Amino acid sequence: MVESFHLLKYNKKDKSMKIFADNVTPRYITSMELIDYNSIAGGDKFGNFYITRYTPQAEETAVQVPYGGLLNGASE
């Protein structure tokens, strides 16, 4: 399966998770590491290294995604 990073926020009240950021570039991820609160580093099976960053305001735009749904950069 070719996917990338999806960042989720847990809502205690609803007991649900909402995606607030994802990477639209499909990758065969072999490794990843959290660098800081806003950054994730990753590597894929082709030897590419990349860093994905998001803005703190992205958490405010979290959307509910049905189980098994894929965002792939879409807002809903």
Q: Which residues contact 36 (CB under 8 A, 6 or more apart)?
A: none
Task: Kindly indicate the confidence band of residue 68, based on its pLDDT and cuts at 50, 70 and 90.
Answer: very low
Q: How far is CA 1 from CA 6, 26, 28, 36, 56, in A?
A: 14, 9, 7, 27, 29
pLDDT, tens digit, 9 for 90 and up, residues 12-65 = 888 888 877 777 788 898 999 999 988 889 999 999 999 988 877 766 666 665
What is the structure's pLDDT at 65? Answer: 59
Main-chain phi, psi angles of 7, to 5 degrees: -105, 130
Q: Which residues of 4-14 are buried (b: 16+ CB within 10 A; e: fewer)?
A: bbebeeeeeee
